[in-house]
Amino acid sequence: MATLSLENLRKQFAPKVVPVKDITLTVKDGEFLTLLGPSGCGKSTLLRLIAGLETPTKGTVKVGEKNLNKVPPGDRDMAMVFQSYALYPHMTVAENIGASLKLRKTPTDEIKHRVGEVAHRLGIEHLLDRKPGQLSGGQRQRVALARALVRNPDVFLLDEPLSNLDALLREQVRADLKQLFRSQNKPVVYVTHDQTEAMTLSSKVAVLKDGVVQQLDSPDRIYTHPSNQFVAGFVGSPQMNLITLRCENNHAIMGDFKLKLPNLTRNPSKVVMGIRPEDLAVASSEDAQTIQGKVFLSEQLGREELISLNVHGSEDIVLRSLVPSDHDWEGDAITLMIPPHKTHWFDIETGERLNREDYSPPVDSVPATAQNRAE
Predicted confidence at residue 137, as pLDDT, reads 82
Cα→Cα distances 107→38, 75, 79, 93, 110, Å: 44, 19, 20, 18, 5
- The whole-chain average pLDDT of the chain stands at 87
- Segment 132-152 mean pLDDT: 86
Predicted confidence at residue 365, as pLDDT, reads 43
Distance in Å from the first CA to the final CA of the chain: 37
Predicted confidence at residue 366, as pLDDT, reads 45
Which of 27-31, 264-268, 300-304 holds the top average pLDDT?
Answer: 27-31
Predicted confidence at residue 350, as pLDDT, reads 92
Superfamily of domain 239-357, CATH level 4: Nucleic acid-binding proteins (2.40.50.140)
Predicted confidence at residue 363, as pLDDT, reads 40
Full-model pTM: 0.85
Domain regions of the chain by residue span: 4-224, 239-357
Cα→Cα distances 154→69, 118, 368, Å: 16, 17, 30
SS (H, E, C) the chain: CCCEEEEEEEECCECCECCEEEEEEEECCCCEEEEECCCCCCHHHHHHHHHCCCCCCEEEEEECCEECCCCCHHHCCEEEECCCCCCCCCCCHHHHHHHHHHHCCCCHHHHHHHHHHHHHHCCCHHHCCCCHHHCCHHHHHHHHHHHHHCCCCCEEEEECCCCCCCHHHHHHHHHHHHHHHHHHCCCEEEEECCHHHHHHHCCEEEEEECCEEEEEECHHHHHHCCCEHHHHHHCCCCCCEEEEEEEECCEEEECCEEEECCCCCCCCCEEEEEECHHHCEECCCCCCCEEEEEEEEEEECCCEEEEEEEECCCCCCEEEEEEECCCCCCCCEEEEECCHHHCEEECCCCCEECCHHHCCCCCCCCCCCHHHHCC
Range from 19-33, 136-150, 297-311 carrying the lowest mean pLDDT: 136-150
Tell me: pLDDT of 356 over 70: no
Range from 88-97, 253-262, 285-294 carrying the lowest mean pLDDT: 285-294
Exposure on the CB side of residue 263, measured as CA atoms within 13 A: 4
Predicted confidence at residue 375, as pLDDT, reads 43
Q: Which CATH architecture has domain 4-224?
A: 3-Layer(aba) Sandwich (3.40)
CA torsion sign for 177, 188, 127, 90 is positive
Percent above pLDDT 70 for the chain? 93
Contact 215, 359 (CB under 8 A): no
Distance CA 19, CA 209 (A): 9
Range from 17-26, 251-260, 357-366 carrying the lowest mean pLDDT: 357-366
The more confidently predicted of residues 42 and 138 is: 42
Distance CA 298, CA 277 (A): 13
Task: Name the pLDDT band for 247 (thresholds 50, 70, 90).
Answer: very high
Task: Name the pLDDT band for 370 (thresholds 50, 70, 90).
Answer: very low
Q: For 159-216, how does the pLDDT look when each residue is reduced to its tens digit (9 = 90+)? A: 988 877 777 778 877 888 888 888 778 899 999 998 989 999 999 999 999 999 999 9
Range from 86-90, 96-100, 172-176, 294-298 carrying the lowest mean pLDDT: 172-176
Tell me: pLDDT of 27 over 60: yes
Tell me: pLDDT of 282 over 50: yes
Predicted confidence at residue 199, as pLDDT, reads 92
> For residue 4, which of 55, 49, 70, 58 has the smallest C-alpha distance?
49
Predicted confidence at residue 55, as pLDDT, reads 94
Distance CA 283, CA 294 (A): 14
Which of 161-175, 259-273, 338-352 holds the top average pLDDT?
Answer: 338-352
Tell me: pLDDT of 367 over 70: no
Q: For 8-20, how does the pLDDT look when each residue is reduced to its tens digit (9 = 90+)? A: 999 999 888 999 9
